Amino acid sequence: MHHRYDAIIVGSGIAGLSLALKLAAAGRRVAILTKKNRADSNTNYAQGGIACVTANTDDFDSHLKDTLEAGDGLCRVDIVREIVREGPARIRELIELGLKFSQDESGAFDLGREGGHSQRRILHVKDMTGKAIEDALLRAVSAEKLVALREHVFVIDLITARKLGFGPAGGNDRILGLYALDALTGKIETWAAPVVALATGGAGQVYFYTSNPDIATGDGIAMAYRAGVAVENMEFIQFHPTTLYSLEQKRFLISEAVRGEGAILRNLAGEAFMPRYHHLADLAPRDIVARAIDAEMKKSGAPHVWLDITHKPEAELRTRFPVIFEACETIGVNPARDRIPVVPAAHYTCGGVVTNLDAETSLPGLYACGEVASTGLHGANRLASNSLLEAVVMAHRGSASILRYLDTLGARPVELPDWIPGDAHDSDEQVVISHNWDELRRTMWDYVGIVRTTKRLERARTRIATLAKEIHEYYWNFRVEPRLLELRNLTQVAELIVECALQRHESRGLHYILDYPGHAAHPTDTQVRRR
């Protein structure tokens, strides 16, 4: 089956939905493809909020300075400045869509504070900000006639002019569309469009323990790389310091906003240890807090540390953090009376597909915004709650760029070939997928975690290369299905993370390597492009 649109957006989080609404408002036909249900996105799991200067006591320069300090010397100052300045206008648009941020008794925004921020500037909807934003955007999209939202459609790969042999070798390449699997029917469909926008989120599932939902398998990063687009700074994987400790793989996030309201990290001896690691103590940037917790756990052999907010009244905690309070109660913890057991877990991909300030990649017609992209905002470590800000600002800027690009093309439809399955048949070896999935994620957790060494990274590279070869053979011999496609993408992302980590001969931000404990004199971005 063939489909044709002006633009195809892959992903249904804040970036993808915002982008679709703006393109439709300009009269363009848009398709949103999401591999699970429409509300399954990293956005939906975001608790803390969205960082933006809205108070009279705050200013853009302060937000800029906090972001640059958290990014540890690798943020692009011009990018940070523009995204911070454009934040208030995008916040107003969200409010116009019906989003109601939490307010204090005076009716002003109830601004929270999180690690690395010098001011209270986090707009939130209690501790379910992402869900509130997702709900508001989905309501608006459902009322938009020019937007078609297809669920359970898994994009396999991008279709480019060079891939189809159009034009001279080495000539200008451009996006023509994509191939996608309808997971409900098992059929592979051809989607034609001069514009594809990747809004697929991050790659937390590449690690055994993560706060991310199951959908975070790095699909957009892997697809862009296979299409020859540069990917950078993948070594900067942010580990959230405080996820609820359990023996299960999935880790429930305990928002940084809890520490913003006064929670204290303690080791199992009851000591408040963060003052030993940073002058901001429990509100230090995430990379520092995660490493501190890791060090305390290794020092004592403890399986977790404590997060203590027992000095707050129960009624206040239930009102401010209803979702977190309920999650703690499921394991028998009442945060008003009991300390919460917490551990770090993989949380955010700071690197990704290289874009400029207009969400453009090096491949004409291919755009990326949100966690999948590397704009230069986050540098070596993302400042808390800057992710939703980046997504909504870059969706706005990307939409303007896409409209300009479409205006230059005119009517040049291209007939795309059907997907050719060849001799592929149904698999009788599903155990290969489950085994390799488990081995890949354990390898990344054991060897490419919070603290690294060159020897561990090289060991990971060898093991991942073997897995990649097996998965490549499996992909070409058997019919594709979602779990295989996710594993293929995760393996590609794992290779990129390790390759970028081996390029960086220094410790900076989220990349801490014992062989190179100090900063390099002249830090640069790491970058990988498929040859």
Any idea where the domains of the chain sit in the sequence?
Answer: 2-235+350-409, 242-344, 430-522
90 classed as catalytic: no
* pTM of the predicted model as reported, rounded to 2 decimal places: 0.94
Q: What is the pLDDT of residues 385-418, one digit of tens each?
A: 999 999 999 999 999 999 999 999 876 677 899 8
For residue 359, is pLDDT > 90?
yes
Residue that is written with structure tokens 């896409």 in the block: 402
pLDDT at 166: 74
For the residues of 8-59, what is the DSSP string, one character each?
A: EEE--SHHHHHHHHHHHHTT--EEEE-SS-TT-SSGGG--S-EE---STT--
Confirm whether 2-235+350-409 and 430-522 share one CATH topology.
Answer: no
Q: What is the pLDDT of residues 451-484, one digit of tens each?
A: 999 999 999 999 999 999 999 988 888 888 999 9
**CATH level 2 (architecture), domain 430-522:** Up-down Bundle (1.20)
Strand-pairing partners, residue 31, are 8, 148
CATH class of the domain comprising 2-235+350-409: alpha beta
For residue 170, is pLDDT > 90?
no
The helix, strand and coil proportions of the chain, stated in percent and rounded to the nearest 5, come to 35, 20, 45
For the chain, percent of residues with pLDDT exceeding 70: 95
Q: What is the pLDDT of residues 226-262, one digit of tens each?
A: 999 999 999 999 999 999 998 776 789 999 889 999 9
Catalytic residue (choose from 90, 162, 251, 286): 286
Extended beta strands in 454-515, E state: 512-513
- CA–CA distance from 463 to each of 415, 444, 446 (Å)? 41, 10, 12
CATH class of the domain comprising 242-344: alpha beta
For the chain, percent of residues with pLDDT exceeding 90: 84
Residue that is written with structure tokens 């017609």 in the block: 365
Nearest to 446 by CA among 424, 464, 432: 464
